[in-house]
Amino acid sequence: MEKEKNYDIVIGIPSFNEQTSIPFVTNQIDKGLHKHYPNNSSLIIDCDNGSTDLTKDTFNNIKTKTPSAFMETKKGDIGKGYALKMLFELTKKFNAKAGACFDADLRSITPDWIKLQLGPIMEGYDFISPDYVRYKYDATITNNICYPLMYGLFCHDIRNPIGGDFAYSREMNNYWLEKAHWTKNTSLFGIDIFMTTNAILGGFKVAQSNLGIKAHKPKDPSKSLSPMFRQVISTLFKTIILNKEKLLEFNKVKKVPLLGNSKKVAPEEFYVDIESTKKRFISGFAKHKDLIKKCISKEDFAKVWGCAYHNKVYLPQELWTKIVYDYIITYKKYESNSSEILQSFTPLWFARIYSFINDTIDMNTEKADIFVQNQAKEFFKQRHYLLDRL
């Protein structure tokens, strides 16, 4: 990498212990750049976040036609957001016209993804969010919180606001660095929702790109997503609280353009331990019930209490919407105790996942997605339950 050279395109791969998967992702990006942008100067960067395996050596040994560089975050800066902030800073340093990031664990990325994401940026868009076909129990944070809040409060129908694979303009990149509000959780897994919400709040031209199937490391929500959940939700709640006046300006849901075509293929299924999800709600409610009682209405607490103590767990869409909005209010009032508040919110999320699985158990992916869209409409319907009190 020539230190003083400018690049037209900079693509980052945030990594943490991805020695097995990063060669495939890197090669697909390289092929895509060579195929679709042979006349542009491009750079591929492994934005590593403290890998302890052989990710660095593996990446440096990948033979690409596109120049590449391995860059590490500062010692102690552990979190995906730190890796992407480093990418944004390098994108600015190299004066790139367009940037993109792709998750290091992707198994479905193709060379055409590069064109699908970067093409709209080259044509005048500022931010491209991915749109995928995903298994109905993948993306539980997206389906039950991020997408409904994106639809209900930000009034933009962006289906995968924390999808991980984004493209952006020079102007968007600089806005994130210079004008957006960063928090500790933004520097962790809050980074994706930070990117999407600030694209909307900044008035940028946004669209979605149809990438088809997303195949990556599956994550069973009953076992591995709690820290990520709290980091994402903290960032999202804080953004909502800071931007009430802007959110009040939105009064109609905008249908965000969906660009590109992709064959309809059934997504890869994976096992979800539904009973473990139920148990984590019941045990978490028992642990945090006193705080939960302070966060939601008396009537709704009685319903949740009944779910836990009668072992009949079900949080319907209308109740779940009110619970989420009540927690945003509580987060604002007691932000100094935000960690404890989000810990008490987590078991309720498990209850919602359990309910969602039972509601959609006999649905195919397409019908389950319609169910998710209906939940988002409920969030829009009840938006003033939050905004009038925020």
If asked whether residues 296 and 201 sit together in one domain, one would say no
Domain boundary among 204, 231, 259: 259
Per-residue pLDDT tens digits for 156-186? 999 999 999 999 999 999 999 999 999 888 9
Give me the chain's average pLDDT, please.
94
Nearest 5°: phi and psi at 311? 55, 30
Q: 224 pLDDT band (50/70/90 cuts)?
A: low
390 found inside a domain = no
Note the pLDDT of residue 47.
98
Domain boundary among 259, 291, 307: 259
Note the pLDDT of residue 288.
97
269 found inside a domain = no
If asked whether residues 286 and 163 sit together in one domain, one would say no
If asked whether residues 69 and 180 sit together in one domain, one would say yes
264 found inside a domain = no
Antiparallel, parallel or unpaired: β 258-259 and 206-213? parallel
SS3 per-residue string spanning 47-90: EECCCCCCHHHHHHCCCCCCCEEEEECCCCCCCHHHHHHHHHHH
Q: 213 pLDDT band (50/70/90 cuts)?
A: confident
- Span of 8-17, 137-146, 379-388 with lowest mean pLDDT: 137-146
41 found inside a domain = yes
389 found inside a domain = no
Q: 215 pLDDT band (50/70/90 cuts)?
A: confident
Per-residue pLDDT tens digits for 25-52? 999 999 999 999 999 999 999 999 999 9
18 found inside a domain = yes
Note the pLDDT of residue 293.
97
367 found inside a domain = yes
In sequence order, which ranges of 203-297 are alpha helices (DSSP H)?
226-242, 244-249, 274-295
If asked whether residues 97 and 196 sit together in one domain, one would say yes
The 10 Å CB-count burial string (b at 16+, else e) for 151-190 is bbbbbbbbbbbbbbbbbbbbebbebbeeebeebebbbbbb
The answer on pLDDT for 94 being more than 80 is yes
State the DSSP code for 187.
T
Determine the average pLDDT of the residues in 362-384: 95
The answer on pLDDT for 265 being more than 90 is no
- Span of 54-58, 154-158, 228-232 with lowest mean pLDDT: 228-232
Q: State the Cα angle at 350 between 330 and 199, rounded to 5°.
A: 60
Determine the average pLDDT of the residues in 343-356: 95
If asked whether residues 236 and 344 sit together in one domain, one would say no
Number of domains in the chain: 2
Q: 261 pLDDT band (50/70/90 cuts)?
A: confident
Determine the average pLDDT of the residues in 308-312: 92
Residue 190: closest CA among 235, 150, 250:
235
Note the pLDDT of residue 245.
97
Note the pLDDT of residue 376.
98
Q: Select the more confidently predicted residue: 216 or 257.
A: 257
If asked whether residues 231 and 300 sit together in one domain, one would say no
If asked whether residues 21 and 83 sit together in one domain, one would say yes
The answer on pLDDT for 129 being more than 60 is yes
If asked whether residues 211 and 358 sit together in one domain, one would say no
If asked whether residues 134 and 82 sit together in one domain, one would say yes
In sequence order, which ranges of the chain are alpha helices (DSSP H)?
22-36, 55-60, 80-93, 111-122, 140-141, 147-152, 170-178, 191-201, 226-242, 244-249, 274-295, 298-309, 317-333, 338-360, 365-381, 383-387
Task: Tell me the C-alpha distance between 37 and 115, whole Å.
Answer: 8
Q: Is the four-CA dihedral 260, 356, 103, 31 of positive or negative sign?
A: negative
If asked whether residues 170 and 33 sit together in one domain, one would say yes
130 found inside a domain = yes
Task: Tell me the C-alpha distance between 147 and 317, whole Å.
Answer: 13
Determine the average pLDDT of the residues in 195-205: 98
If asked whether residues 207 and 140 sit together in one domain, one would say yes
Q: Select the more confidently predicted residue: 269 or 188.
A: 188
Determine the average pLDDT of the residues in 324-330: 98
The answer on pLDDT for 263 being more than 80 is no
Task: Measure the CA dihedral 60/64/65/70, to 10°.
Answer: -30
Q: 237 pLDDT band (50/70/90 cuts)?
A: very high
Q: State the Cα angle at 21 between 20 and 25, rounded to 5°.
A: 145
Q: State the Cα angle at 235 between 335 and 122, rounded to 5°.
A: 155
The answer on pLDDT for 222 being more than 70 is no
The answer on pLDDT for 383 being more than 90 is yes
| Tokens standing for residue 232 | 């994402």
Instruction: Please identify which residue in the block is written with the tokens 């800073």.
Output: 89
CATH code, 197: 3.90.550.10
- Whole-structure pTM value: 0.94
Identify the domain containing residue 50 by its residue range. 9-259
Note the pLDDT of residue 272.
84
If asked whether residues 293 and 358 sit together in one domain, one would say yes
Domain boundary among 259, 284, 313: 259
